[in-house]
C-alpha cells in the first residue's frame, strides 16, 4: 500500500501540523520507503524464530545480596543535628499543622 499526498496531508491535519509542499513530498517518500521495508520483513519466514525482548542476551550485573552488619541506631544518630525517640528529626516540608 502506497501513501498518497492526500494521505500525508490528512495525517498532518489530524496532527495539527502545517507542512509545506516540499515537506509533504519528502514525508510521502520517507513513509513509502518505511512501508517498503515493512513489506520486506513481512515476506520473511520467521516461523522458527523465537520472540525476544532484547536482540542480545541480557545478564544481571548486580552483585548478590549478602547480609552484613549495619550501623547501630545510636551510631547512626550520633552526628544527627537533632534526634528524638531514636529517629532523625527533620523540618516540616509543607502544611505544618494543616490536614492534608
The model's pLDDT over 3-39, given as tens digits with 9 standing for 90+, comes to 999 999 999 999 999 999 999 999 999 999 999 999 9
Grid cell locating 16: 495539527
**CATH code of the domain in which 15 resides:** 1.10.20
Residue 100 pLDDT > 60, yes or no? Answer: no
Q: Is residue 17 one of the residues assigned to a domain?
A: yes
Q: Is residue 70 one of the residues assigned to a domain?
A: no
In order, the DSSP letters of 61-78 are -SPPP-------HHHHHT
pTM of the model as a whole: 0.49
What is the span of the domain harbouring residue 15?
Answer: 5-42
Q: Is residue 23 one of the residues assigned to a domain?
A: yes
Q: Is residue 69 one of the residues assigned to a domain?
A: no
Q: Is residue 30 one of the residues assigned to a domain?
A: yes
Q: How many CB atoms lie within 10 A of CB 9?
A: 16
Domains contained in the chain, number: 1
Find the helix or strand (DSSP H, E) in which 88 lies. Answer: strand 87-88
Q: Is residue 61 one of the residues assigned to a domain?
A: no
Q: Predicted confidence band at 57 (pLDDT cuts at 50, 70, 90)?
A: confident
Amino acid at each position: 500500500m502506497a501513501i498518497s499526498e492526500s494521505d500525508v496531508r490528512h495525517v498532518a491535519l489530524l496532527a495539527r501540523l502545517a507542512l509545506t509542499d516540499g515537506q509533504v513530498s519528502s514525508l510521502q517518500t520517507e513513509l513509502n520507503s518505511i512501508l517498503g521495508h515493512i513489506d520486506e520483513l513481512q515476506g520473511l519466514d520467521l516461523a522458527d524464530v523465537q520472540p525476544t525482548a532484547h536482540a542480545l542476551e541480557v545478564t544481571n550485573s548486580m552483585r548478590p545480596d549478602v547480609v552484613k552488619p549495619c550501623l547501630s541506631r545510636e551510631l547512626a544518630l550520633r552526628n544527627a543535628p537533632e534526634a528524638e525517640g531514636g529517629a532523625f528529626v527533620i523540618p516540616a516540608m509543607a502544611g505544618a499543622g494543616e490536614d492534608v
